């Protein structure tokens, strides 16, 4: 798997910012060339052009279908983060989730 740009989306960006940091640490350990950025839901349009994958915080599950419809003509994977790893900010589990999409 080559370079990926992953966009994490949540309400304000605080907890997802911590998740992104943990995912970046784990990606570096695994030698993955992944750029992982956390943004609020209102910023999606500003960053979607660079994204290969959008992961949505579990508290924003309602956004997943909307994003899939909006970006159906683009090669972007869209996934809902699992509460089990999101609540513990488990970056390794989040990376495994992304890897399962490809």
Domain assignments of the chain as residue spans, ordered by start: 4-101
Q: Is the pLDDT of residue 1 over 80?
A: no
DSSP 34: E
Task: Give me the percent of the chain exceeding a pLDDT of 90.
Answer: 85
Q: Which residues contact 37 (CB under 8 A, 6 or more apart)?
A: 5, 6, 7, 8, 20, 47
Q: Is the dihedral of CA 77, 79, 81, 84 positive or negative?
A: negative
Q: What are the φ/ψ torsions at residue 75 (nearest 5 degrees)? A: -90, 70
Residues 40, 45, 51, 55, Cα dihedral to 10°? 40
Q: Are 39 and 8 within 8 A, CB to CB?
A: yes
Q: Is the pLDDT of residue 13 over 70?
A: no
pLDDT tens across 39-73, in order?
Answer: 998 899 999 999 999 999 999 999 999 999 999 99
Counted residue by residue, the chain has a size of 102
Q: Is the pLDDT of residue 11 over 90?
A: no
In CATH terms, the fold of domain 4-101 is Rossmann fold (3.40.50)
pLDDT tens across 83-93, in order?
Answer: 999 999 999 99
pLDDT for the residue 50: 92
Q: Is the pLDDT of residue 94 over 90?
A: yes
57: left (phi over 0), alpha (psi -120 to 50) or beta: beta
pLDDT for the residue 81: 96
pLDDT for the residue 46: 92
């Amino acid at each position: 798997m080559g370079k990926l740009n992953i966009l994490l989306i949540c309400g304000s960006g605080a907890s997802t910012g911590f998740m992104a940091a943990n995912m970046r640490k784990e990606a570096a350990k695994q030698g993955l060339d992944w750029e992982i950025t956390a943004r609020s839901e209102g910023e999606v349009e500003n960053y979607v052009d660079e994204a290969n994958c959008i992961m949505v915080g579990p508290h924003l599950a309602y956004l997943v279908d909307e994003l899939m419809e909006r970006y159906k003509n683009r090669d972007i994977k869209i996934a809902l983060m699992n509460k089990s790893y999101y609540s513990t900010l488990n970056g390794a589990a989040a990376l495994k989730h992304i890897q399962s999409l490809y």
